[in-house]
């Protein structure tokens, strides 16, 4: 009948006092990444000809930049459509239109303020024909990897000068040294398991004071965390995966950033993140978006509240934020050859934006079968966020091809731990599957037994479970249920976490086995 399987890993806790600007009692020194011309930051750093997304909004940032005029010195088949200034005096957002027949070239942007002038060379490149954006299908088995906890292939990057956290293997919430090279070194191991796709928990920079290992508090959207490797090393990993017939899924976070993101030291606009008079957590109540009786405050509290004090909530209703997040996703596919996306905390983001984001990605790469994290407790709530489901009659369509099927996960766990009655135990599976009419294509949903946020399945069902129960477990995943499967790292060895989530984080691959951290 349908979906995907997932192997996972656990994660995180945080805290801070301020959420406007620098959140620390003692301000951290600003981190400026020089691009060209006296620390001019440019994002994205380049683009390509022949793209569907051909109205590119480029972020330029430098002290006092908003006082400058900007023009193109020359550009064949290209022109500036508009320039937007933020509330900060240090940003310009320049929209560049790239005609369909424009050649690859190096543009020259000229910035002028009276007699002061500087230029920036901006490359528009030819698209390469490398494999990319393949999308996952019901034939795939997805293996979920926490890069920091998988394998340490390059000890030299365990501690990076200037970054806030280094190696702390003695701490559950510390960094343990895993990296991209460690994953590359074990691709044959994964291939031997029958894995056809790997889902990497976020590998972008998370330069946070604590719990940076999990990756869900991004501090730079265009830079791989140096403790994992480099942008080039990510591209090399993807290439080697493709040689072996393994796809690579990025875990993308649209809802929030880390409070040490470079934006937080100089927000481009006052509404760049969702602000409250006092710190306000999200309600964590996604059903408020479906509930016909919910107040507008209930909806706002859920969508605009912060997931955590160290995770500022992005305001995707701001058009520059929206464009930035769309372009960033496209850029990484073109640059590194990413094949698909799992979308973290999908329900918490502005849903009009999410619909736009999904459609823009599908317009560019029709084979994508992105799946969102919808951790809820009923099929109608989970299904509300999936593509072209019955709620479209309410003038809403997410354009999201698939979801992570928590409902089937919960049902399988009940079947393995509870006595079967008319409605409980194994009957739960039947009732969940009978509601698949709610999805446009249930085969695009990803199934799992546990993930990086949950108690491991072998702990949940009891470590002394009989072989019969385990055989039934695997049959339920690989048989007639959803065929997209996602196992968590080390799940294939029957690893449990008897002392809680922290224990499950403490394993790294060594050769073909695992060792305790």
Contact 11, 497 (CB under 8 A): no
Q: At which residue do the structure tokens 């002290």 appear?
A: 63
Contacts with 301 (C-beta within 8 Å, 6 or more apart), sequence order: 280, 282, 283, 285, 288
Provide the strand spans (E) within 277-345: 340-344
Q: Is 322 left (phi over 0), alpha (psi -120 to 50) or beta?
A: alpha
Residue among 414, 422, 424, 419 at smallest CA distance from 476:
414
Contacts with 252 (C-beta within 8 Å, 6 or more apart), sequence order: 202, 329, 341, 342, 343, 344
Tokens representing residue 49 in the block: 């000809």
Contact 442, 398 (CB under 8 A): no
DSSP single-letter state for residue 126: P
* C-alpha pair distances (Å), 21 with each of 129, 262, 266, 473: 42, 10, 7, 49
For residue 292, the tally of other CB atoms under 10 A from its CB is 5
CA dist 328 and 427 (Å) reads 43
Residue among 510, 483, 512 at smallest CA distance from 142:
483
CA dist 58 and 268 (Å) reads 13
Residue among 368, 363, 337 at smallest CA distance from 132:
337
Kindly report each contact of residues 409-416 with a partner whose C-beta sits within 8 Å and lies 24 or more positions away, as own/partner: 409/447, 409/448, 409/449, 409/450, 410/377, 412/449, 412/473, 412/476, 412/477, 413/449, 413/457, 413/460, 413/461, 415/476, 416/460, 416/461, 416/465, 416/469, 416/472, 416/473
The strand pairing partners of 122, in sequence order, are 107
Contacts with 55 (C-beta within 8 Å, 6 or more apart), sequence order: 81, 95, 96, 97, 98
Known catalytic residues are 344, 373
CA dihedral 225, 165, 197, 373 (to 10 degrees): -100
Q: What proportions of the chain, in percent to the nearest 5, are helix, strand and coil? A: 30, 25, 50
DSSP single-letter state for residue 157: G
CA dist 148 and 156 (Å) reads 14
CA dist 341 and 194 (Å) reads 21
């Amino acid at each position: 009948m349908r979906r995907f399987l997932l192997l996972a890993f656990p994660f995180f806790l945080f805290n801070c006092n301020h959420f406007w600007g620098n959140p620390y009692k003692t301000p951290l020194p600003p981190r400026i990444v020089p691009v060209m011309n006296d620390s001019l930051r440019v994002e994205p750093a380049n683009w390509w000809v022949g793209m569907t997304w051909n109205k590119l909004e480029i972020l330029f940032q430098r002290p006092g930049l908003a006082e400058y005029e900007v023009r193109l010195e020359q550009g064949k088949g290209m022109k500036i459509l508009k320039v937007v200034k933020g509330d900060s005096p240090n940003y310009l957002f320049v929209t560049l239109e790239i005609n369909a027949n424009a050649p690859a070239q190096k543009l020259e942007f000229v910035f002028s303020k009276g007699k002061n002038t500087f230029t920036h060379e901006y490359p528009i490149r030819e698209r390469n024909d490398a494999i990319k954006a393949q999308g996952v299908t019901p034939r795939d088995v997805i293996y979920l990897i926490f890069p920091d906890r998988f394998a340490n292939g390059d000890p030299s990057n365990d501690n990076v000068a200037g970054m806030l956290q280094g190696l702390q293997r003695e701490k559950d919430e510390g960094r343990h040294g895993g990296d991209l090279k460690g994953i590359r070194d074990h691709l044959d191991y994964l291939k031997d398991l029958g894995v056809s796709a790997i889902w990497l928990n976020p590998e972008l920079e998370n330069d946070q004071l604590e719990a940076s290992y999990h990756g869900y508090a991004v501090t730079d959207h265009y830079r791989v965390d140096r403790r994992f490797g480099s942008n080039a090393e990510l591209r090399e990993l993807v290439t080697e995966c493709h040689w072996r017939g393994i796809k690579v899924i990025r875990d993308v976070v649209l809802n929030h950033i880390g409070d040490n993101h470079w934006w937080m030291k100089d927000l481009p606009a006052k509404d760049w993140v969702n602000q409250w008079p006092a710190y306000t957590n999200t309600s964590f109540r996604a059903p408020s978006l479906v509930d016909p009786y919910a107040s507008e405050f209930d909806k706002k509290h859920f969508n605009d509240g912060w997931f955590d004090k160290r995770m500022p909530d992005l305001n995707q209703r701001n058009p520059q934020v929206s464009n930035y997040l769309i372009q960033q996703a496209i850029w990484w596919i073109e640059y590194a050859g990413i094949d698909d996306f799992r979308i973290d905390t999908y329900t918490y983001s502005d849903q009009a934006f999410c619909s736009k984001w999904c459609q823009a990605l599908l317009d560019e790469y029709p084979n994508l079968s992105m799946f969102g994290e919808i951790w809820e407790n009923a099929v109608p709530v989970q299904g509300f966020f999936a593509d072209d489901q019955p709620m479209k009659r309410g003038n809403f369509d997410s354009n999201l091809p698939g979801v992570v099927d928590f409902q089937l996960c919960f049902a399988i766990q009940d079947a393995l731990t509870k006595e079967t009655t008319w409605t409980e135990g194994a009957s739960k599976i039947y009732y969940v599957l009978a509601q698949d009419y709610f999805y446009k294509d249930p085969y695009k949903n990803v199934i799992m037994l546990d993930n990086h946020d949950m108690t491991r399945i072998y702990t949940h069902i009891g470590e002394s479970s009989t072989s019969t129960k385990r055989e039934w477990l695997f049959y339920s995943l690989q048989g007639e249920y959803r065929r997209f499967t996602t196992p968590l790292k080390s799940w294939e060895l029957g690893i449990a976490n008897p002392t809680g989530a922290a224990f499950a984080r403490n394993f790294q691959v060594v050769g073909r086995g695992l060792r305790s951290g």
